Chains A and B, each alone.
Chain A
Amino acid sequence: MCSHFYILDFILSFLDKYLSPSVSGAILKNMSIQEVLKEIRYWIDIEGVEAIGEGENCIIVFISAENEEIRKKIPTEYKGYPVKIEVSGIISTQ
């Protein structure tokens, strides 16, 4: 049983390494975007991240100001979903 997982893991890492992210992403997209958002909710604790949400077939991360350090911490794709970064400014009650 365990060997099956090793084989699957090998195939996925092969796809990740040699195919374009969109192809491997399509295969990896076995989680709904809602599930993915739950999983990455902790990204909001990264200093400068104001919000995380579901865009059109993508994850959007809103940041308070342009910041290379934050961009380095956030991947451009997660579990097959592209991650977009938008500058929102600091969000306050109105």
Chain B
Amino acid sequence: MNSKWVFHIGYATIALIMPGHPSEIISLTAFGSSSLLIIDIFYYLRYKISKKEVKMAILEGDYLKVAKVQEDNEEMLLAKENVVGVGTGHKIKDGKDTGEPSIVVFVSQKIDKALIKPNDLIPETVEKFKTDVIETGEIFAGTEGIEEKKEEEIGVEVLRQRIRPAKGGFSVGHYKITAGTIATCVYDLYPFPGIPPKYYILSNNHVLANSNDAKIGDPILQPGPYDGGSVPKDIIARLSRFVPIKFMKPGYAPCNYVDAAIAEGNFHELDREIYWIGYVKQVNSRPKVGDLVEKTGRTTNFTTGRIIALNATVNVNYGGGRVARFCRQIMTTCMSGPGDSGSLVCDIKEGAVGLLFAGSARVTVINSILYVQSLLHIRLHP
């Protein structure tokens, strides 16, 4: 048996998912069953045979048994927090390959056992086979930026925690999604000056309204479901308004201007301060190319970037083959990762510039804050 093949399969679970969409990658770590479905679909599309058939064709002997045990337990292992992939490989001890077939569990970060919830601990053996835990960092579509991401992951836990009153920069999400970020808290545009009738959390449509697939009044969780938020314990607000996203169809490519939504919460549970940035001091209606900007987001924490393009037309992938065209967008150097959607991007004088919603390993895309305020009829400042 050629051990290279074994490792090939060991990494297959991860490597073959990488061309997917980041939101699907999040679902991989969040929901074992859905990730298995993605894997199976991929195998079917790529090889026109099932994943099981691929494994059976390549593996033999003990490796076949390990692969069978892996397959039976994959869902259970992927459901654990921090696990990003499972494979078949060799047990590595003190940095040396022991040659012993084992179930390899890939985690985003190796954490002290004392800090992990009992249910999320990786068992030392699964059905008599030893497990080997390998730290990979978070897995993204493509390979660029993974090392940078690993560094940025340090200390991520703070912004994924439950916090009351809820602040900008922290995890949030519709109960059916994974997690995004709270931009800040806002109020109705009118009456002004006057007594605002309601107060809201601001974030993206795809964070608070599940990319149009939500009903007004749906529960919004803080932290988001991927970060442990659950109904009813962590309901912070109810979906109030969203700007529907118009997806492209053959011969139809309408312009969207914002991916934005608001959810109404209790004033006493909402704080419009943004972690590490502070309070928005103004709305920057005329950002310029070259301006420095900053944001705090649930995944990459506090980051800075530089505006590289204005008035941009961008095609954005929403997963599942859906693409939406956005016009009049602001583009910056890369300053975000999956889960940062919804972050408020400010200039270095705390002037609100826009709402972060998309990106790649090289760039970040932001809705102009003027469009966000206007289309949602909200006010960020004063």
Which of B116-124, B233-241, B303-311 binds A? B303-311
- Contact with A92, one of B290, B299, B319, B356 (Cβ below 8 angstroms): B319
- B340: nearest chain-A partner, CB-CB: A94
Q: What's the nearest-Cβ distance from chain B to residue A5, in Å? A: 31
**Main SS of the interface on chain A?**
mixed
Contact A93 B22 (CB under 8 A): yes
B336 in the interface, Cβ–Cβ < 8 Å? yes
CB distance from A94 to the nearest CB of B (A): 4
Interface members, chain A 43-60 (any B CB < 8 Å): 44-45, 50-56, 60
Chain A 53-93, CB within 8 Å of chain B: the 1/0 string?
11110001010000000000000000000000011111111
Q: Is the CB of B362 within 8 A of A92?
A: no
Q: A51-B331, A53-B329 are in contact. Are A91 and B312 (CB under 8 A)?
A: no
Query: Which single member of B22, B289, B299, B312 contacts A51 (CB below 8 Å)?
Result: B312
Contacts of A87 in B (CB 8 A): 362
CA distance A54 to B314 in the complex (A): 12
Contact present for B142 and A94 (CB under 8 Å) = no
By the criterion of a CB under 8 Å from any partner CB, how many residues of chain B are at the interface? 46
Q: What separation, in Å, do the CA atoms of A54 and B336 have in the docked complex?
A: 21
> With an 8 A cutoff between CB atoms, is A3 at the interface?
no
Question: A2 CB to closest chain B CB, in angstroms?
Answer: 36
B309 A53 Cβ-Cβ under 8 A: yes
The reply on B141 being an interface residue by CB < 8 A is: yes
- B310→A88 contact, CB < 8 A: no
**Contact between A92 and B329, CB atoms less than 8 A apart:** no
Contact B290 A88 (CB under 8 A): no
Contacting pair A88 B363 (CB below 8 A): yes
- Within 8 Å of chain A (Cβ to Cβ): is B66? no
The CA of A62 and the CA of B299, in the complex, are separated in Å by 25
Whether A91 pairs with B314 at a CB distance below 8 angstroms is: yes
A37 at the interface (CB under 8 A from B): yes
CA separation between A88 and B317, bound complex, in Å? Answer: 13
> A41-B313, A51-B314, A53-B329 known; A92 and B289 CB under 8 Å?
no
Q: Which residues of B contact A89 (CB under 8 A)?
A: 142, 144, 360-363
Given the complex of chains A and B, what is the CA–CA distance between A10 and B351 in angstroms?
50
Least CB separation from B26: chain A residue: A94
Spell out B's residues near A (CB within 8 Å): 21-23, 141-142, 144, 204, 206, 211, 253, 259, 289-290, 299, 308-319, 325, 327, 329, 331, 336-341, 356-365
Closest 5 CB pairs of A and B: A53-B312, A53-B309, A89-B360, A51-B314, A92-B317
